[in-house]
Structure 1
Amino acid sequence: MRQLKSILATLEVDLRLIGMIAALAVIWGVFHAVTGGLYVTPRNIFNLSVQTASVAVMATGMVFVIVTRHIDLSVGALLGFIGMTMGMIQAKILPEFLGYGHPMIWVITVFAGLLMGAVFGAFQGWLIGYLTIPAFIVTLGGLLAWRGAAWWVTEGQTVAPLDETFKVLGGAGGTLGIFWSWVVGILASLAAVALVFQSRRRKVAHEFHVKPLWAEFALAGIYVGVICSFVAVLNAYEVPTRRIERMFEAKGEVMPEGLTMGYGLPISVLVLLAVTVVMTIVAQRTRLGRYIFATGGNPDAAELSGIDTKFLTVKVFAIMGGLVAIGAVIASARLGSAANDLGTLDELRVIAAAVIGGTALSGGVGTIYGAVLGALIMQSLQSGMAMVGVDAPLQSIVVGVVLVFAVWIDIVYRRRTGS
């Protein structure tokens, strides 16, 4: 045990990260045993990753919101409103001008959604930052207003079908395939290794403490192993033979005997990974990220040091709104339609994912990767309980208990470590 602690200390691994990974492993192990070996399979891991993407994308933005000592209760309703509006744009409005199936429909739709999300988020941030209305009240009002607006856009009717190219972004029908998934996996592995040693060179150049060289190689090996294992599992999920036959029939060809195809990385998961990388860079490598965490740690000191905390609040909520729009794209594209209940209770899932991932409600502390892992833990619980036939009300009870327990564990951890 002492040797393990010594190795972890040398690697400088976040113990909360280890705890979350261990919790996820326990959840997967229990459900795998209860379902008779049906849980940890390529098919279920694929579905789990697709189902997690939307909430995880929004959870990365919620980290910034909570770190600055605010809260956003409107993300689920705003997702529903943006999703319904994008549905109307691509199914009703643009086809009248461009024609059905035009290649620019999905591009214009996504751009319009991102613009709406950023503008509406910035507006809420302006109310909070400049008019000093508490974020709880502003976003609670937003929850009611955006949900009502979502119904008003289509008078409660489901919008379908959505643009075929747009639906690819949902992940269920859009994947990279085996070859391109491995290309992405290899490039991601090379990037991870490069970042590890670039960070080491930067620390050496500034005469900071660095880990032993073996520890750097060990971390790089772990990153590469995780990335390649994830790609291998998703590639192992095979496309049904009948679907492959239809693909060949559509081209007027006959499927070669014995041919198999793997799904590979879903587009929505690729979007999630890109968002995670960008948000991590913003949090750790940019002035904006430093200002966000400084403001969350001590708002008065941050303002006295020259940080425009009011405008910073507008920026944080604009980022949150943009990420809600990305979540709306993924959620509606995965379903292939935009219904009035789109995003219902997502605000609670997003906040829970950030908190379970180690973001302190008192502000100043939080990680992007923690929020993504928190979203995966939440979805793993719900997916597993659904597979074993647990009723929806009991699922909500379990998730609520887990959320409270996770916060309590985090409080105990911070008290003992003084963080």
Structure 2
Amino acid sequence: MADLLKKFFKGLELDSRMLGMIGALLLLWISFNFFTDGRFLTPRNLFNLSVQTASVAVMATGMVFVIVTRHIDLSVGSLLGFLGMLMGALQVHILPQYLGFGHPTIWIITVIFGIGIGVLIGAAQGWVIGFLAVPSFIVTLGGFLIYRGAAWWVTTGQTVAPLDVTYKLLGGGAEGTLGADISWLAGAAASIIAVVLMIQSRRQKQSHGFSLKPIWAEYTLGAIAVAMIMGFVTVMNSYPLSKGAVKRIFDARSEEIPQFAVVHGVAIPVLIVVIVAIVMTLVAKKTRFGRYIFATGGNPEAAELSGVDTKMLTVKVFALMGGLTAIAAVIASARLGSVGNDLGTLDELRVIAAAVIGGTALSGGFGTIYGALLGALIMQSLQSGMAMVGVDAPLQSIVVGLVLVLAVYLDIAYRRRAGK
């Protein structure tokens, strides 16, 4: 029996590090579920967990590229707060004067503006790092202080609220979801995309003469992927809306309140994370830009001698990080429905921790998008679980710090054993 299991897992050719992360996540969930008398693994808590993870997960995908190129970005938390404050002030104090309150284009203009500013700020930081050769640690540490102070000056410390109604849908909540029917369709579409990508990957390997997994392994992995996607949708569609939320939503639509239970479905922030993850994965694996990033991280001197403009590459990587930080700022501010001076506090540490726990090597050259997403989910699960158990905030920080150090140690040990 043991030999059969060993042969089975060998045939699947799964990344042992990823299996370890999944095992750690499941262990966390089961432990917290036990200590919370079954309240952790409920549709309600898993829905909240998915929404709470979204903003950090989006930034973690960009941090993978930053760390792979042997840099670091300590400014993302403060930049998130600054961009959130700018977007809040724009949609609350400026645009209504010209377009009127509740205008349907307010949220669109706000999001485009925020992403644009984020890209510009990120590119500026990348230019200083790449062309002026100032270490990224120093540049982004300066940004950490600058943007937090700048956020205060935008509104002289006042909280910006209420945000645009449509804009707030991007943060999840009762209204910010796909609903049951669209969630099923989205799950089916995601399942089809996953299977198609697996087929294309196998055909590409075959065309280049690479060794292939047994066909039964491909079918098994496809079935696992579809089961995970549809299982997640099933859980999200098992969380019913409260009677008050149902009444509020259908009154706003001037529709009759239905007699059947109305469920949340997949939250919009989760859909944003999925889209970002797919795009970033394709960028990493299918584009010249992605190949240059990993080549530069593996050996900067060799990459430069091969014709890679590493200076401009640094500008592009940090510009991308700035744009993703703006998207995260949209999710975080929309979820809260307001923007305060504490928005994004310590998020830089959570983002870096998510990327590192997910397997991104601090020495550069290696990292995965799916690993960063798993790392973000592990971090948020740890914090949410400790809060539900009743662990004091100072002790939560101690535990998270210890987990980060342990994760880096295990990563170093793993790479030494694997000879990477």
TM-score range, shorter chain: over 0.9
The equivalences for 1:17-416 within 5 A come to 17-172=18-173, 173-250=175-252, 254-257=256-259, 259-416=260-417
The amino acid of 1:263's aligned partner reads H
C-alpha distance in structure 2 between counterparts of 1:411 and 1:61, whole Å: 22
Give the drift of 1:247: 3.5
What 5-or-longer segments of structure 2 have no aligned partner? none
Find the aligned partners of 2:323 and 2:189 in 1 and give their Cα distance.
Answer: 27
Q: Residue 415 of structure 1 aligns to which amino acid in structure 2?
A: R
Task: Please state whether the residue corresponding to 2:101 is helix, strand or coil.
Answer: coil
Using the TM superposition, give the Cα deviation of residue 10 of structure 1 relative to its aligned residue in structure 2, in angstroms: 1.5
Structure 2: distance between partners of 1:378 and 1:152:
31
Give a deviation string over 1:230-257, Cα, whole Å, max 9, x none: 0000010001123223444445555344
* Aligned-pair CA distance for 1:202: 1.6
Deviations 1:314-344 (A, max 9, x none): 0000000000000000000000001111100
- What letter corresponds to residue 36 of structure 2 in structure 1? T
Taking a change above 3 Å as real, the CA distance of residues 147 and 206 of structure 1, as seen in their structure-2 partners, is: same
Confirm or deny: 8 A CA contact 1:241 1:260 kept in the other structure: no
- Cα distance in 2 for partners of 1:318, 1:2 equals 50
Deviation of the 1:394 alpha carbon: 0.3
Deviation (angstroms), 1:351 = 0.3
Change (3 A) 1:253 1:185: closer
Equivalents in 2 of 1:228, 1:191: separation in Å?
A: 13
**Count of residues in Structure 1 that have an aligned counterpart in Structure 2:** 418
Partner of 2:264, secondary structure, is: coil
CA offsets, 1:106-151, max 9 Å, x none?
Answer: 0000000000000000000000000000000000000000111000
Q: 1: CA distance between counterparts of 2:3 and 2:317?
A: 42
C-alpha distance after superposition, 1:180-216 (max 9, x if no partner): 0000000010111111111111222222211111111
TM-score (norm 1): 0.98
Shift of 1:164: 0.4
Alpha-carbon shift at residue 9 of structure 1 (Å) = 2.3
Q: What residue identity is the alignment partner of 2:191?
A: S
1:285 Cα deviation from its structure 2 partner: 1.0
Structure 1 segments unaligned to the other structure (5+ residues): none
C-alpha contact (below 8 Å) 1:185/1:228 kept by paired residues: yes
Distance 1:246 1:312, change over 3 A: closer
Distance 1:4 1:160, change over 3 A: same
Which amino acid counterpart does residue 167 of structure 2 have in structure 1? F
Give, in whole Å, the separation in 1 of the partners of 2:253 and 2:170.
23
| TM-align CA RMSD | 1.1
Range moving further from structure 2, 112-121 or 243-252: 243-252
Distance in 1 between residues matched to 2:360 and 2:139, nearest whole Å:
21
Measure how far apart 1:368 and its partner are: 0.5
Alpha-carbon distance in structure 2 between the residues aligned to 1:113 and 1:119: 10
Matching residue's letter, 1:218:
T
The Cα offsets for residues 334-362 of structure 1, whole Å up to 9 and x where unpaired, read as 00001111100000000000000000100
Q: Whole-Å Cα distance in 1 between the matches of residues 318 and 244 of structure 2?
A: 46
Shift of 1:8: 2.2
TM-score (norm 2): 0.98
Determine what percentage of the aligned residue pairs are the same residue: 66
